[in-house]
Amino acid sequence: MAILAIIGLLIVLLVALIVFFVIYQQKQHSKYFHARNVTFLDIGLSYTIKFFMGKLTLIDIEKIQYEKATETGKKFVGISELTSPSYYITDLELMKHIYVKDSDHFVDRRSITTSTSDILFKKMLISLEGEQWKGMRSKLSPTFTTGKIRKMFDIFDKSSQNMCNYVRKRVGSDGGEFDICEAYSKYAMDVIASCAFGIDSKSFDCEPGVSSEFEEMGKKIQLKVTLSLALKLLVVQVAPKLANMMGLQAIDTGPQDYFKKVITGVMKRRRDTGERHNDFLQLMMDAQQGLLKSEENSKETMEVMTGSKEDNTGNSKQVFSPNDEADGESPTKFTFDDDDIVANAVLFLMAGYDTTQSLLIFAAYMLALDQDAQERLLEEVKSTFDANGGSLTYDGVIGMTYLDCVLNETLRYYPPALRNERLCTKDYKIPGTDTIIEKGLIVGLPIYGMQRDKQYYENPEKFDPERFLPERKAERNPFTFAPFGHGPRNCIGMRFALIEVKAVIATLVYNFKLEPGTNTEIPVKMSNSSTLKPENGMWLKISPRS
Ligand code: HEM
């Protein structure tokens, strides 16, 4: 009893300490912005408490923040981020400066490394900083060009067919209600296992409701926004030395060791036998040997590396100079060892699983709710399959304009990531103002709120894929759409993700009719995670077309 009472008291003290800390920080940050004549957005303690009590989700907080920030009519506002004051941007021109034109002031993103024992995490592109990041980005960029992704198309096609067979087994010949999340999870894992690890995930071989070892480990390695992760990050920010001593890790050791063993084994076999495959693993092994340089140092590789065509004009100060080459040689004398390959294969799993699955889930949901859109897509899909003798090809997928519109509209309304961030890496004077964003501060760039803002999207609550027809898209400022970010630190896997998703959606719609069922939640209840996901799965009525 006495021990329980002491534990209870300690918990109360800890909560009181955190509350005091948040209030104190909030006051300090308010003073900081007041002194700089910057409007401070007072979203603090009450929201933090409601979040941890499960009364507000991350989506709610992002939505409120965006709405409150735009209501001020300012181009940017100050916000409080527990340990540091931060900026939140609402002006499109300023976003363009931060993402692209002046990206040399915003090279990195928030550090989420936890301790020196978090070896893989430290080597991942997403958490690298400065010159190290430049070297890695340029080394990996040639592996994400459309030419390389085209060669991986067979993997997408095979996994798409496996997924349809799996769904057919689950719903039977008369169709039935099914949680599509399960099938999409298997698909996303299967594709990444083949492309980044060079192995079969065996995800479709399992009985319903059972996951293969690869899937189990893949799910364990996903970063979940939980109270325990938030506390770990707090310790890292407030007391990095203590975090190191405690050996706090963002990713558990078990899955890290599993993936390291898997990839090391595949690399050894390929090196011993000379066996080659069309996958990321091979491309990274080639990049390690410097073999991608001459073949892929193309304009498109530069686009992958710098994040946009615009960056190549050389008119603005950018992270990469026009002379930098997309192979890791020029920006820095960058070495790329086996641990780098393992770390980045694991990163592709972490960055590509939840996000891709999220897009797939909501695309299926929107198509089930909007039968006209599904019929129109079916016509396009059928003619594409027919034109290729009943099968799907890379060119067939690229040629489907309406499919592209459906996915972009899904990404607009249900962006997998809620917002982007940059870390200011050298003091930055906001153009046309006297405000200096100081080195070390985080800058938030909205996605979710902005993509539902009626000043950019008429009738934003309506699912309207035609908004993304090329002529209508051209009328909009491109920075109103940021599901993959922009500029040199944007999503390196964007091209890969879009083809992967298009292949499976086309195959699914070709084979099945999707409709809402009795278990379909309308509107969807969202889970409280950093990637947009439904809380209770996505149950749809799925019927084979013939
Ligand atoms: C629908 C699917 C996906 C979405 C919506 C998505 C979204 C994003 C976003 C918003 C960012 C941050 C961009 C920024 O800060 O400007 C990002 C970064 C990144 N993504 Fe993706 N992603 C997807 C799929 C993938 C896939 C399949 C891969 C790998 C195979 C991948 C690898 C990465 C990496 C490595 C970064 C960090 C890039 C860097 O720091 O240089 N993503 N992604």
The full DSSP string for 224-277 is ---HHHHHHHHHHHH-HHHHHHHT--SS-HHHHHHHHHHHHHHHHHHHHH----
For the chain, how many residues are written?
546
Give the Å distance between the CA of 190 and the centre of ligand 1: 18
Ligand 1 atom with minimal separation from the 140 CA = 35
Q: How sure is the predictor about 304, in pLDDT bands with cuts at 50, 70 and 90? A: confident
Among 96, 149, 194, 355, the mutation site with the greatest number of ligand 1 atoms within 8 A of its Cβ is 355
pLDDT at 168: 94
DSSP 8-state symbol, 323:
T
pLDDT at 398: 96
For atom 9 of ligand 1, which residue has the closest CA? 484
CATH of 2-544, one of 1.20.1090.10, 3.40.50.970, 3.40.50.740, 1.10.630.10: 1.10.630.10
Q: Looking at the predicted complex, does its ipTM rise above 0.90?
A: yes
pLDDT (mean) for 177-181: 94
> Contact at 8 Å (CB) between 492 and 151?
no
Give the Å distance between the CA of 5 and the centre of ligand 1: 46
CA distance 15 to 17: 5
Give the Å distance between the CA of 483 and the centre of ligand 1: 9
pLDDT at 317: 58
Per residue in 380-411, pLDDT tens?
Answer: 999 999 999 999 999 999 999 999 999 999 99
Of the candidates 227, 22, 225, 239, which has an alpha carbon nearest to the alpha carbon of residue 114?
239
pLDDT at 82: 72
Ligand 1 atom with minimal separation from the 489 CA = 41
For atom 31 of ligand 1, which residue has the closest CA? 493
CA distance 380 to 358: 23
pLDDT at 301: 77
Preceding omega of 446 cis (within 30 degrees of 0): no
CA distance 155 to 15: 50
Ligand 1 atom with minimal separation from the 411 CA = 5
The structure tokens listed for 258 are 């599993």
Give the Å distance between the CA of 484 and the centre of ligand 1: 6
pTM for the model stands at 0.92
Give the Å distance between the CA of 211 and the centre of ligand 1: 25
**Of 180-194, 229-243, 304-318, 455-469, minimum mean pLDDT range:** 304-318
With a pLDDT cut of 70, the percent of the chain lying above it is 88
pLDDT higher than threshold 60 for residue 331: no
Of the candidates 387, 182, 191, 151, which has an alpha carbon nearest to the alpha carbon of residue 282?
151
Ligand 1 atom with minimal separation from the 144 CA = 30
pLDDT higher than threshold 70 for residue 322: no
Ligand 1 atom with minimal separation from the 280 CA = 30
Residues having CB closer than 6 A to ligand 1 are 125-126, 137, 347-348, 351-352, 355-356, 359, 416-417, 420, 483-486, 489-493, 496-497
Q: How sure is the predictor about 233, in pLDDT bands with cuts at 50, 70 and 90? A: low
For atom 21 of ligand 1, which residue has the closest CA? 491
> Contact at 8 Å (CB) between 437 and 97?
no
pLDDT at 224: 63
Give the Å distance between the CA of 491 and the centre of ligand 1: 3
The structure tokens listed for 497 are 């993700």
DSSP 8-state symbol, 174:
T
Given the structure tokens 């799965």, which residue do they identify?
537
pLDDT at 255: 84
Sheet containing strand 76-81, edge to edge, reads 76-81, 84-89, 442-446, 419-423
Report for 46-55, 211-220, 408-417: range of highest mean pLDDT: 408-417
For atom 37 of ligand 1, which residue has the closest CA? 126
State residue 446 phi and psi, 5-degree precision: -70, 150
Tell me the CB-side half-sphere exposure of residue 430, using CA atoms within 13 A: 20
Higher pLDDT, 13 or 414: 414
Give the Å distance between the CA of 417 and the centre of ligand 1: 9
Give the Å distance between the CA of 348 and the centre of ligand 1: 9
Q: How sure is the predictor about 223, in pLDDT bands with cuts at 50, 70 and 90? A: low
Given the structure tokens 């996605």, which residue do they identify?
447
Among 491, 492, 500, 530, the mutation site with the greatest number of ligand 1 atoms within 8 A of its Cβ is 491
CA-based R_g, the chain, Å: 24
